[in-house]
Amino acid sequence: MDYKKTKAAQTTIPRDLDLLTKETGNIYETVMILAKRANQISSELKEELNQKLQEFASYTDNLEEIFENREQIEISKFYERLSKPTLIAFEELKEGQIYHRNPSRESKQKI
């Protein structure tokens, strides 16, 4: 998914608790689903940022030389301005893009 084009809010806003209980019926279960998805998003963004910054890495032995690369700074600032992973996860939940299942509920229904 392209997290750069998401419609997630940039800041924290009040949320309707009924929206959190709509999918699972349990607010705590929904919060855990959001937390796990936010961790996935965060790791994907971190990996992507590290790959882009790897292009600018200099492998010199001299620790006194520190180069400030304008492009590297702009890339870092861009990723800092993105919505937080928790807000992106909440937006995905609101749009119905998160798939989740609870194996313990499924086994109880089969019995």
pTM over 0.85: no
13 within some domain: no
In a domain, 102, yes or no: yes
Number of domains forming the structure of the chain: 1
What's the CA gap between 71 and 69, in Å, rounded?
6
pLDDT of 24-57, one tens digit each?
888 999 999 999 999 999 999 999 988 888 887 6
Instruction: Tell me if 6 is assigned to some domain.
Output: no
Please give the pLDDT value at position 58. 66
Task: Name the CA dihedral angle for 49, 52, 55, 61, rounded to a multiple of 10 degrees.
Answer: -10
Q: Each residue of 4-25: pLDDT tens digit? A: 667 777 777 888 888 888 878 8
Average pLDDT of the chain to the nearest whole number:
81
Domain range enclosing 58 = 20-110
Residue 55 domain-assigned? yes
Q: How far is residue 41's CA from residue 61's CA, in Å, rounded to a whole number?
A: 35
